[in-house]
Amino acid sequence: MNDVRAHLTVYGCQMNRLDAELVAERLRRSGARIVADSAAANVLLFLTCSVRAHAEDRLFSNIGALGARKRREPDLVIGVLGCTAQQYGEDLRRKAPLVDVVCGPGRLADLPALLERARRGQPAAALDPRRTPAGAGGFDASDRALDDLELGRPLGGPSPGHAYVTVMRGCDNFCAYCVVPQVRGPERSRPPSVVLAEVCGLGDAGARRVTLLGQAVNKYEAEENGRRWDLADLLAATAEMPGLARLEFITNHPRHVTERLAAVFRDVPAVAPYLHMPAQAGSDAVLARMKRGYTAREYEGRVAMIRQARPDVAVASDFIVGFPGETEADFDATCDMVRRLRFSGAFVFKYSPRPGTYAAAHYEDDVPAREKRRRNQVLLDLVQGIALEDNRALVGKTVPAFVEGPSPHPHLDVDAEEPARGEDFPRGPYGPRRRAEGNSGVVQLRARTPHNRIVVFDGPADLAGCIVPVRIVRASALTLFGERVTAG
């Protein structure tokens, strides 16, 4: 595989960004190289997301656009990895005939063998068993292979000094709209000893910020040497990592937020005061049809429990607008919830029916596209109006900012959390780097406050991975603008 030059484009959530590191590690071990420039590659890999139709459409149009190049370079190998690969399985090649390799998210360790076959001119696929809500087993071998890659990878996470760590794979919640349980398989918590060994290794390699990942991370449950562990136990043990300054965990399911988890915010100083706990809707009728397993009141009770333990915890949410049967009154209930709870931020998505989900099979997608767009905008405006008020209250204050690197959108006031397009892996040079005037080597840096707010300020690029005090001088809804506070 020494002559493989692979380029990797990543779509989707944090889990896919971590999977990109695993793919890179697997290819490196087999002698292949990862190249940042897709034009220089002879293998093009797409790590995909199927959560909304939009993400898939982008993938298929990007692959379709490669037709001319594939005719010019007949040896070019195109691989689709991750959730969309698992969703379509072998059918993917019927939809996108240019694709040579199809590899599900559980089978990334098989990638070199698949590429070898494809380079001999044979299409190749590795997929997990199809699952039903009744569950499916048989993931042990592939999980061990993924563990091996995850444990062996160098620190090369989302930004310098920041590492993602899997604590749970899969999902058993089967929310009516969601494709994740069928593409990521059944819920499996990794043993605490494995998670902690990984965290220690990353700490030795220089990680100062760790984000524990799971689709419902707070359902974490494991038993080892006769001791039972939940997420609160795991967070407390992870926080012991020498040098760890910031510990986060995403994403939380409201049903499984407990007093024990709330207490962690109060008792474990390394745990950041930030809780991503998607509500999805504020109407009980919609929540029931979504099969979320809680009412709006119960959700608010969870927020209250967290804020009682630590009043300043920033609670962030996701919402889906235009879910089947969502009336104007239902939507108003969501807006009322946002006004009452004052989320620090929220992603708002228009409902997109996904094949194989309960909602696609049982509910009519009956909210017109225009109405979905309108509700999306109304809710976003509301969320951002509140965020703007809360951000303005921070002007004049000094916050410890974890520096991620040069600002990807120096002139734009946007949050680039969800990749709108596929991102290159490793992330290419961030957008146009604005140089602060008359100060060579100084760029606009992007950092995160403990509450996960974005703060930008001018400073040397080599501050990436450090925590520095920044005084907030101006605020918009999505971004704080600051100045570095230096001693003397």
Contact footprint for ligand SF4 (CB under 6 A): 171, 173-175, 178, 180-181, 215-216, 253
And the tokens for 477? 């809804």
For residue 113, the number of C-alpha atoms closer than 13 Å in the C-beta half-sphere is 7
Residue 174 interaction partner, one of ligand SF4, ligand F3S, ligand SAH, none, beta carbon < 5-8 Å per kind: ligand SF4
60 binds, among ligand SF4, ligand F3S, ligand SAH, none (CB under 5 to 8 A by kind): none
Picking from 182, 195, 185, 183, the residue whose alpha carbon sits closest to that of residue 221 is 195
Nearer to ligand SAH, 260 or 291 (CB): 291
Taking the complex as a whole, the smallest distance from the CB of residue 338 to ligand SAH amounts, in Å, to 14
Closest to ligand F3S by CB, 424 or 458: 424
Spatial distance between the Cα atoms of 379 and 319, rounded to a whole number of angstroms: 9
Cα–Cα dist 90/108, whole Å: 16
Q: Which does 273 bind (CB under 5 to 8 A by kind): ligand F3S, ligand SF4, ligand SAH, none?
A: none
Please provide residue 486's backbone torsions phi and psi, each rounded to the nearest 5 degrees. -110, 150
> What distance, in Å, lies between the first and last C-alpha atoms of the chain?
55
User: Which of ligand SF4, ligand F3S, ligand SAH, none has residue 349 at its interface (CB below 5 to 8 Å by kind)?
Assistant: ligand SAH
| Minimum CB distance to ligand SAH, residue 416 (Å) | 16
**Least distance (Å) from ligand SF4 to the CB of residue 104?**
16
- For residue 351, the partner it binds in ligand SAH, ligand F3S, ligand SF4, none, with Cβ less than 5 to 8 A by kind, is ligand SAH
Tokens representing 170 are 């899969």
Q: Which residues contact 455 (CB under 8 A, 6 or more apart)?
A: 399, 401, 446, 447, 448, 449, 470, 472, 479, 480, 481, 482
Angle between helices 140-152 and 192-204 (to 10 degrees): 20
Site for ligand F3S in 181-210 (CB under 6 A): 183-184
Which is closer to ligand F3S, CB of 180 or CB of 472? 180
Report how far residue 423's alpha carbon sits from residue 9's, in angstroms, rounded to the nearest whole number: 5
- Bridge partners of 48, per DSSP, are 82
Binders of ligand F3S among 81-110, rule CB under 6 A? Answer: 83
Rounded CA gap, 211 and 277, in Å?
15
Q: How many CB atoms lie within 10 A of CB 295?
A: 15
Choose from ligand SAH, ligand SF4, ligand F3S, none: what does 160 bind? Cβ within 5-8 Å by kind: none
Q: Does position 280 bind ligand SAH by CB under 6 A?
A: yes
Q: Which is nearer to ligand F3S, 87 or 479 (CB)?
A: 87
Question: Contact at 8 Å (CB) between 45 and 76?
Answer: no
Q: What is the nearest approach in angstroms of ligand SAH to the Cβ of residue 339?
A: 19
Query: Strand 33-34 relative to strand 77-82: parallel, antiparallel, unpaired?
Result: unpaired
Which of 44, 45, 49, 443 binds ligand F3S (CB under 6 A)? It is 49
Nearer to ligand SF4, 24 or 348 (CB): 348
Residue 444 contact, options ligand SF4, ligand F3S, ligand SAH, none, Cβ 5-8 Å cut-off depending on partner type: none
Decide if residue 22 touches ligand F3S (CB under 6 A): no
Which of ligand SF4, ligand SAH, ligand F3S, none has residue 50 at its interface (CB below 5 to 8 Å by kind)? ligand F3S
Shortest distance (Å) from residue 63 CB to ligand F3S: 17
Cα 200 to the chain's mean position, in Å? 22
Contact flag: residue 177 with ligand SAH (CB under 6 A): yes
Rounded to whole angstroms, the Cα distance separating 118 from 53 reads 28
Strand, helix or coil for residue 428: coil
335-364 residues near ligand SAH, rule: CB under 6 A: 349, 351-352, 354
- What element of type H or E holds 338? helix 328-341
* Strand 423-425 with 77-82, pairing: unpaired
- With contacts defined by CB under 6 A, name the span among 49-57, 155-163, 203-211, 450-458 that binds ligand F3S: 49-57
The binding site for ligand F3S (CB under 6 A) comprises 12-13, 15-16, 49-51, 83, 179-180, 183-184
